[in-house]
């Protein structure tokens, strides 16, 4: 890509000339010069300043989305040219929901790197909704999500089964109970993930299937990560519903205790998401590797 385009993308994503300069390892005046030259090329302003912050103009938004698409084509082109020379190289930007990013995908990425050492991998993480938005906006090449709903413009494939389980801290009032009734989930304090989390969406939908009113839960707090929930449980007389894959170590060490719930389970699938109409051999190679990986 033209270097001015690369500078523009960095400023658009950082929404800061100084932060873009740090990322690109160039001076802030150089960043300003590249943006000014790009604005002269299009004969319009690409950024506007409001107070101490900058924002993309309408024209800037159009340029941004077009250049993200072009950048994706360049990454795929690198891979296809490398294939012709029997040297598979390229770059994949992966977006993964928090649970997958922390507890599932790092091993896969390490294994993929051993197989394809000249393909660069970058990982971005957040909740499932955020990762789908990044995919639709061409910020990531592929998204790995844990929600049940589907966004328009995205195709999904299951790649790993998961189970949400009810856990409590080893010193909790409920640690010795072993089994609780599903109705107990409506009474006992429960800490859950934040809005936009795939885990929270799955819990909400499964509660509805079992005719348990989700809005009546005794939920004193929502936290932004499973790690936060695990630490919170150590001094909390209550429960949490988390991925079994996220607490295997804590269950082994017995710092957390798993409770069986009579009459209800929380199964779900981790899914790989591709933007419809944006196939590339590079992302398909990674997707095939993920689907064949033995967890």
User: What is the model's pLDDT at position 52?
Assistant: 84
End-to-end Cα separation, the chain, in angstroms: 38
Question: Any idea which fold 1-61 has?
Answer: Arc Repressor Mutant, subunit A (1.10.10)
| pTM for this entry | 0.80
CB-based burial label for 47 (10 Å; 0-12, 13-18, 19+): middle
Question: Any idea which fold 162-268 has?
Answer: D-Maltodextrin-Binding Protein; domain 2 (3.40.190)
Equal CATH topology for 1-61 and 162-268: no
pLDDT mean for each 10 residues of the chain (295 residues): 92 93 94 94 93 92 91 82 76 94 96 92 94 93 92 94 96 94 94 91 91 92 94 95 95 96 92 88 90 92
User: What is the model's pLDDT at position 1?
Assistant: 81
Which distant-in-sequence residues (6+ apart) come within 8 Å of 267 by Cβ?
Answer: 161, 162, 163, 164
- Closest C-alpha among 71, 9, 59 to residue 35: 9
Which distant-in-sequence residues (6+ apart) come within 8 Å of 104 by Cβ?
Answer: 96, 144, 160, 245, 270, 295
Q: How many CB atoms lie within 10 A of CB 255?
A: 16
Identify the H or E element spanning 221.
Answer: strand 221-223
- Closest C-alpha among 242, 127, 119, 243 to residue 196: 127
Q: Hey, where are the domains in the chain?
A: 1-61, 162-268
Q: How far is CA 149 from CA 146, 157, 247, 266, 277, in A?
A: 9, 13, 25, 15, 20
User: What is the model's pLDDT at position 239?
Assistant: 97
Q: Is 125 helix (H, G, I), strand (E, B) or coil?
A: strand
Q: Are 162 and 245 in contact (CB under 8 A)?
A: yes
């Amino acid at each position: 890509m033209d270097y001015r385009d690369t500078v523009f993308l960095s400023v658009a994503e950082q929404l800061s000339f100084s932060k873009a300069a740090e990322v690109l390892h160039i001076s802030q005046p150089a960043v300003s010069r590249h943006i000014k030259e790009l604005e002269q090329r299009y004969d319009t302003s690409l950024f506007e300043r409001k107070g101490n912050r900058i924002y993309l103009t309408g024209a800037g938004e159009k340029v941004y989305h077009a250049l993200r698409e072009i950048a994706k084509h360049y990454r795929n082109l690198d891979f296809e040219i490398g294939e012709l020379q029997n040297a598979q190289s390229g770059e994949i930007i992966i977006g993964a929901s928090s649970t997958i990013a922390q507890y599932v995908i790092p091993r896969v990425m390490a294994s993929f790197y051993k197989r394809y050492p000249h393909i660069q991998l970058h990982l971005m993480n957040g909740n499932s909704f955020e990762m789908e938005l990044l995919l639709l906006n061409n910020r990531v090449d592929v998204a790995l999500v844990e929600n049940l709903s589907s966004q328009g413009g995205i195709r999904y494939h299951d790649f790993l089964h998961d189970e949400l389980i009810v856990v409590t801290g080893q010193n909790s009032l409920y640690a010795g109970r072993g089994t609780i009734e599903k109705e107990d989930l409506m009474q006992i304090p429960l800490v859950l993930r934040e809005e936009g989390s795939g885990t929270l969406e799955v819990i909400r939908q499964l509660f509805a299937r079992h005719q348990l009113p989700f809005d009546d839960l005794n939920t004193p707090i929502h936290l932004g990560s499973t790690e936060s929930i695990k630490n919170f449980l150590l001094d909390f007389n209550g429960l949490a519903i988390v991925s079994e894959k996220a607490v295997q170590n804590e269950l082994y060490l017995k710092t957390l205790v798993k409770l069986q719930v009579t009459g209800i389970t929380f199964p779900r699938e981790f899914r790989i998401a591709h933007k419809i109409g944006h196939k590339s051999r590079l992302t398909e190679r990674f997707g095939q590797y993920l689907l064949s990986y033995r967890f």
